[in-house]
Amino acid sequence: MSLLPFFRWFQMLRVGVAIRASTYWFPAIEVVHLFGLVLLLGPILVVDLGLLGLGMRRQAISRVARAVAPGIWSGMTIMLATGALLLSAEAMKCYENPAFWYKMYFLAGALLFHSTIYRWVTSSDSPERISSTITGLLSLALWFGVALAGRVIAFL
């Protein structure tokens, strides 16, 4: 099944048409998208560095993860909402952009990982060294993959 009809439909939504018609909406939404990135990546970095034993060490990782969770969820909500708006403004352009698809693969991987293995490992009081190291590295790789591919969209 091709997603092309969905992208065609998404592109023609009233909100996308409105964003395209204005000079300022797209940049304004993109700036909020960038704020969401910082808000999401900051807490994720704190947890990942903790998992790798390179950051906060005196605290149990489960405590740190729980304490920064509101930041992660707020950042993720902002990113997904503004991301959907940006996509509605240029759905067809994205459909034809390979970097966009890499970004979506990384994002799907990151969300899946975050809501499963990452959650299990960071909710355990004393995760094994090897599993916390792998979890920290994978999380960093997936989220930076999302950010990297996202930036490349603009260059292709």
Partner 1 sequence: MSALALFQWLQGRPWAIAFHESRYVFPLVETIHVLGLAGSVGLILVTDLRLIGVLLREEPVAEVMGRNRRWMWMSFASMFATGALLFCSEAANCYLSPTFRAKILFLFLAGVNAFAFETTIGKRVSVWGRAADTPFAARFAGWASLVCWTAVILFGRWTAYGLQ
* Interface residues toward partner 1, by CB under 8 A: 27, 30-31, 34-35, 37-46, 49, 54-59, 63-64, 67-68, 70-71, 144, 147-148, 151-152, 155
Min CB(106)–partner 1 separation in Å: 14
Q: Which is nearer to partner 1, 14 or 155 (CB)?
A: 155
CA atoms in the 13 A half-sphere facing the CB of 66 = 9
Q: Which is nearer to partner 1, 4 or 31 (CB)?
A: 31
Instruction: Check if the beta carbon of residue 48 is closer than 8 Å to that of residue 64.
Output: no
Min CB(5)–partner 1 separation in Å: 32
What is the distance, to the nearest Å, from the Cα of residue 117 to the centroid of all Cα atoms in its chain? 17
Which one-letter amino acid corresponds to residue 42? G
Cα distance between residue 28 and residue 11, in whole Å: 19
What backbone torsions phi and psi does residue 86 show, to the nearest 5 degrees? Answer: -65, -40
Min CB(152)–partner 1 separation in Å: 7
Q: Which is nearer to partner 1, 7 or 37 (CB)?
A: 37
Cα distance between residue 142 and residue 111, in whole Å: 9
Q: Which is nearer to partner 1, 35 or 120 (CB)?
A: 35
